Structures are given as structure tokens and as C-alpha cells.
Structure 1
């Protein structure tokens, strides 16, 4: 397999962590869709990473779809429950965590617009989304070791990746102070080899 990814993309990091947790061999092709000579549009018409090319030459994108594909392979640990309804519940946690990342990315892009074009209300609106979603995730995580069930799931990975992205791009956002359950989850997840090996570069 080949994974087209940027080293700072949280969505790509989620897939890289899944690959590491499942010990699946995959060639990492570092490519940023923001570069002029990017190859990303040739593998994903939306021009976004990550994109995964299977050994058979089939291409999957974006990160939830790739995660679902990797779950079909004969590789443990299983990150989604076998029961269909439980699987939907875990995927909803993933969706909420991805929503945190989506809002944080939009806030970052807006903050990088030139003076006079930048909208502080839009940045605040996106950060409000982050805070509401973190409150919802905190409620789910409270009193538990894992976001769902008795072991690590795709939900835990997605949540921890989102929290790691906040640390990277919004270090001034003190989310740990009001979200102790998420802080504990992040501490445990960040210590895993899959997370330490995929820690994004600063910049």
C-alpha cells in the first residue's frame, strides 16, 4: 500500500496511527496539496490528503473511508465493534472528533489571512464549535478508560489526534483545564508508540 500524506495533516496522522496499531506495511509518500508540484489531485480529485492506494491499485480517500477500508483487512486490533449499531456509535465519536479538527483547521486558515481580510468573528465561531464538541466528548469520556467499550477504538484515536492538533496549532487553548477526562485519555494515547512515531513537526 501507499499513503499520500502531509506530515502535519491530522487526518493523515489518524490513518498513519491506524496503520501502526495494526502493523500494516505501507509506503509513506509525503506530499502537501499546498505545493505547486503536488501529485495529490492525481490520486484524489478533491486535492486533499490522505489518500491510500491499495496493493491492487484501488484508491481510497478521505480518512474515515480509509479507516473503514483498513478495518476490512485481516489485521488486529479491531478498532470498530462487530455489532452494526455499536459500530455506528463509535463512528459518531470519530465524526465528532473530526469535527473538532475541521473547525480548528478553518480557524487556523482564517487566522493566516492578511490583515483586513481576516475575520475574527469567523475564527471565534469555529473555536466555539471546538469548545462545544470538546464538552460533548468530555461527557462521553468521563468515568471511562476508553471512549466506547472496554478497549481502544477508532473513536479514541480520532479524539486523541484532534487534541494533538489543538496542541500543535492552538497551544494557547487550555482545553485540559476544563476537560480532565479528555486530558487523561490524551496522556495515555500520546504515550503509545503509534502516536510518538507520528508526532507532527512544528511549523
Structure 2
């Protein structure tokens, strides 16, 4: 398997962590989707990463949620998704919330920093709206986590990987957002996850 993506993308990082936890072999090919000669659109018309190329399969997989769900079926090692039912839905809901936080954060960051837009064209109201979604997501995560050691109970799941990637990305791209003091239970989870080899070896920056 060949994973195409950026080392600083939290969505790509999620896939890399899942591969590490599942002990899957793959080749990581770095690609900048913002470069003029980026080839990502050749395999994904949306021009996004990650995408996973699989030998013998003509259609590459794209979207991190699709990729990690597929990867979890490849090995019984470190099962990250329950097979069915409410437990599976809970894990996927955590993942959707974490990815939604990232989606809003990325939109806010692009509005503030994208070189294709002048300062006069930037909308602070749009940035504030997206960051409001980030704050609301953090509050929901903190409330749902409570005092549990992991997002969905007593062991690591895809919910924790997605949440850890989102929280660490906030530290990386929005150090001015003081989410740790506001949500110490999330900070405790993020710090615990950072100690795992799969997280420490994929740290952005």
C-alpha cells in the first residue's frame, strides 16, 4: 500500500496512526496539495489528501474516514472499530465530531492565511463563526468524555485517534486557543495519547 499525503495534515496523520497501531506495512509519499504541480487531483477529483493506493485496485481510496475503516478490516491486531451496533456508532460519532472540529479549524485558518486572498478580502466574521464551531466541539467532547480514560470506555479506539489528532492539531496551528485550561480532561487524554509511539512518530511540525 502507498499512502499519499502531507505530514502536517491531521487527516493524513489519523491514517498513519491507524496503520501503526494495526502494524501494517506501507509507503508514505509526501505531496503538497497546494503546489502548482501537485498530482493529487489525478487520483482524487477533490484535490485532497489522504489517498491510499492499493496494489491490484484501480480505484484509490480517499477520505480518511473511508481509509481507516478499510484498514481496520485488514488485521485483527489492535481492533479499533466495533463490528456493529451502538458501540460502533459511538466511535464513528466521535470521529465525525473530531473531523468536524478540524474542518472548521482549517476553514478559519485558510481564511486568515491563504495567500490567494488579500487582507481586505478576509472575513473576520467567517473566522469567528468557524472558531465558534471549534469551541462548541471541544465542549461537547469534554462533556462526553467526562472522567473516562478513553473516549469510549477503557481501551483505545478510532475515537481516541481522531480526537487526539484534532487536539494536537489545535496545539500546532492555534496555540493561542487555550483549550487545555478550559477542558483539562481533554488535555489529559491528549497528553496520554502523545506518549504512544504511533502518535510521537507522526507529530506534526
TM-score category, normalised to shorter length = over 0.9
CA deviation string 1:76-134 (max 9, x = no partner): 10001123321111100000000111011000000114210111111111110000010
Counterpart for residue 195 of structure 1: 199
Contiguous gaps of at least 5 residues in structure 1: none
Counterpart for residue 115 of structure 1: 119
2:185 maps to 1:181 = yes
Q: How does 1:44-63 map to 2 (within 5 A)?
A: 44-57=44-57, 58-63=59-64
Q: Using the alignment, how far apart are the partners of 2:161 and 2:136 within structure 1?
A: 19
Deviation at 1:33, TM superposition (A): 1.0
**1:126 paired residue among 105, 127, 130:** 130
Counterpart for residue 95 of structure 2: 94
Equivalent pair of 1:176/1:183 in contact (CA under 8 Å): yes
Counterpart for residue 67 of structure 1: 68
Contiguous gaps of at least 5 residues in structure 2: none
Q: Using the alignment, how far apart are the partners of 1:71 and 1:193 within structure 2?
A: 18
Q: How does 1:24-63 map to 2 (within 5 A)?
A: 24-57=24-57, 58-63=59-64
Residue 16 of structure 1 aligns to a residue whose secondary structure is helix
Aligned residues: 201
**Once superposed, which parts of structure 1, at least 4 consecutive aligned residues long, lie more than 2 Å away?**
55-58, 82-85
Deviation at 1:45, TM superposition (A): 1.4
Q: Using the alignment, how far apart are the partners of 2:31 and 2:76 within structure 1?
A: 27
Deviation at 1:55, TM superposition (A): 2.7
Q: Using the alignment, how far apart are the partners of 1:26 and 1:200 within structure 2?
A: 19
Q: State the TM-score, normalizing by the size of structure 1.
A: 0.96
